[in-house]
Amino acid sequence: MQGLNVITPRQNSENASRSPIGDRKRRVREVRIGAVTIGGDYPVAIQSMTLTDTRDAAATLEQIHRLEEAGCEIIRVAVPDDEAAAALPAIKRGMSMPLVADIHFHYKLALKAIDAGVDKIRINPGNLGGEERAKVVTRAAREAGIPMRVGVNSGSLEKDLIDKYGGPTPQGMVESALRHIRFLEDEGFENIVLSLKASNVPRMIEAYTLMREQCDYPLHLGVTEAGPPSTGIIKSAMGIGFLLANGIGETLRVSLTADPVEEVRVGWEILKALGLRSRGPNLVACPSCGRCEVDLIDLTTRVEKAIAGLKKPLHIAVMGCVVNGPGEAREADLAVVGGKNKGLLMKSGKIIATLAEEDLIPALLEECEKFDVSDRPHGTPKLIASA
Ligand code: SF4
């Protein structure tokens, strides 16, 4: 396939050697989803899901391309009916990242999606209309050589498990996943990814943690129905971030009631904050205080916009005053430090210019262009893992 950003395992092992954050609790199997591999020493992959009507291939592709540009690495589309399944070949032809078909209830749609050449299917073997139908889908996936994600969701846990555990508990979710794993393994199918999503963050954390102790299949992390960005970002960062920091999780989807581009952006910020991967600049800014002599919120917003398109993994700081600013910006590759109608531009901890406020951002961008990240005087800043 053309134009794919194939991620190598080496990138992840380089990062892992720098920090105990994210160290694997146990070896996880590798699963290949098109050109992206998860598990093993591969880095955590970011995925999202389209919001468009899958039957409209052109609109779906337009959204997929925007998501790819934002850094999405695996994309899932809902396949609710025959017309959506019929659009899959055109969607697949028009894109380069791996395509996942999301199937519920209709085993024939799963077969059509596999025929269309999707790279993975997301199913729940328990809702495909009986064991025989689930076996047919499993056989077709095996013959096509594609993985299946078993998606356990606390909101749709089997009734007997809810009765047994007195509600949709983490233990019940794990037992449901183990049932599905046993079914697939009995069919000779081990190309499996698992998810155990809940909207309740502690429940989701416990479910994934228990699951990791029970099996070595890659885990797809997510807080389901996390809500709008104002709350959904926090829930996702807490749930997904906690698990990743503890070495659990091989791929993630941030679920937000928002443009899915925002899901991808937040996913990257979680990985960047933990130092697990890097993509573009990492911006830090002081919160401002009574010493600040510049409109720091405005300055930081303008810097954020100005550096948004940069690809280099630069560590950039925006500080509000010259009292603590230069010291706090010492670890940054580049920093702007606000002052009364003027500011400082810093590079690798040293002041390189004092400029009028309106000249700060253009000068910062010029230095961003020139900065060679492989030539940092003090090595990689501790907040950034190498790309
Ligand atoms: Fe306050 Fe200056 Fe520290 Fe910003 S850098 S929080 S303005 S003391």
297 lines ligand 1 (CB under 6 A): no
Q: Which two tokens stand for residue 185?
A: 């393994």
287 lines ligand 1 (CB under 6 A): yes
- Is residue 321 within 8 A of residue 292, CB to CB? The reply is yes
**What was the pLDDT predicted at 8?**
46
Closest residue by CA, ligand 1 atom 6: 288
Closest residue by CA, ligand 1 atom 5: 325
Interhelix angle for 357-370 vs 296-307, to 10°? Answer: 30
Model pTM above 0.95: no
Q: Are strands 334-338 and 220-221 parallel, antiparallel or unpaired?
A: unpaired
How many whole angstroms from 82 Cα to the centroid of ligand 1? 59
Q: Which two tokens stand for residue 197?
A: 């999503």
How far apart are alpha carbons 91 and 76 in whole angstroms?
Answer: 11
**What was the pLDDT predicted at 373?**
86
How far apart are alpha carbons 259 and 183 in whole angstroms?
Answer: 36
Atom of ligand 1 nearest to the CA of 290: 1
325 lines ligand 1 (CB under 6 A): yes
pLDDT along the chain (387 residues), means of 10: 39 47 80 97 97 98 97 97 98 97 94 98 85 94 97 91 95 96 96 96 97 96 92 97 96 96 96 92 91 91 93 92 76 90 91 94 96 74 40
Query: In the chain, what are the domains?
Result: 9-273 (3.20.20.20), 282-375 (3.30.413.10)
Closest residue by CA, ligand 1 atom 3: 324
